[in-house]
Amino acid sequence: MNIILLGAPGAGKGTQAVALVKEKGLAHVASGDLFRDNLGRGTELGKIAKTYMDKGELVPDDVTVKMVLDRIAKPDCANGFLLDGFPRTIPQAEALDKALSEEGKSMDKAVSVAVPNEQLIKRLSGRWICRGCQAPFHMVDAPPKEAGKCDHCGGELYQRDDDNKVTVQNRLNVYMKQTAPLIDYYKGQGKLLEVNGNQPVDAVSKEMLAALA
């Protein structure tokens, strides 16, 4: 099964992906994580991406599409993958559909996770991420068992540069303008599933798994 997780910044895409890929045996492909990995390794791609990510703007489609298509061509994606943060524009969705159809494949479902804006802002301001496995935590709502340490891999937790107030607001604006139209795109393909993301993490997971069953 190939699944897309659609949702605004802070909707819980990364949080839900952790449980979903385990349950469904999928590879987790998060475009933001791929950019941050490149950034950490100081690659050219990372340097290009940083100039956009710091402002909360989208990285250009050609760069992003190539990076994700290269990633889903890897062997661990052969039995299914979960896309988190991609596609984020209509041209990205069209490029994905085209590339998959050339191999006789397609996306199966797009799960849209809805959360009110004030809740998104609260979540992002309290978020901590694992440097090792990228799992997200929240200092109030989803704290790690041990302060500063990842529950899953023991990695160090840090706060993302783009989780500051000004950048978060721009990320939300960019989402509404450039990414929200994908909800209708996948509705039109009969692949859209809608989940209420404004409930405890486990309740969201349960609703998502039921929708995908």
Catalytic residue annotation: 13, 88, 127, 160, 171
In the bound state with ligand AP5, the residue whose beta carbon lies nearer, of 191 and 206, is 206
Residues forming beta bridges with residue 129, ordered by sequence position = 136, 158
CB of 162 to ligand AP5, least distance (A): 6
CB 20 within 8 A of CB 208: yes
Which helix (H) or strand (E) is 183 found in, with range? helix 181-188
Q: Does residue 87 have a cis peptide bond before it, meaning omega lies within 30 degrees of 0? A: yes
Sole binder of Mg ion in the list 10, 12, 14, 197 (CB under 5 A): 14
Q: Which CB atom, from 104 or from 207, has the smaller least distance to ligand AP5?
A: 207
Residue 12 binds which entry of Mg ion, ligand AP5, none, CB below 5-8 Å type-dependent: ligand AP5
Q: Which stretch binds ligand AP5 (CB under 6 A): 69-77, 97-105, 122-130, 188-196?
A: 122-130
Give the separation between CA 40 and CA 172, rounded to whole angstroms.
Answer: 25
Determine how β-strand 109-114 pairs with β-strand 127-130.
Answer: unpaired
**Packing angle, helices 117-125 and 165-174, rounded to 10:** 140
Distance CA(150)–CA(143), nearest Å, equals 10
Residues 44-103 that bind ligand AP5 (CB under 6 A): 52-53, 56-59, 64, 85-88, 92
Site string for ligand AP5, 136-155 (x = CB under 6 A): xxx--xx-------------
Whole-number Cα distances in Å, 62 to 32, 45, 96, 143? 15, 12, 12, 37
Residue 197 interacts with Mg ion (CB under 5 A)?
no
Binding site for ligand AP5 (CB under 6 A): 7, 9-15, 31-32, 35, 52-53, 56-59, 64, 85-88, 92, 123-124, 126-127, 136-138, 141-142, 162, 171, 200-201, 204
Binding site for Mg ion (CB under 5 A): 13-14
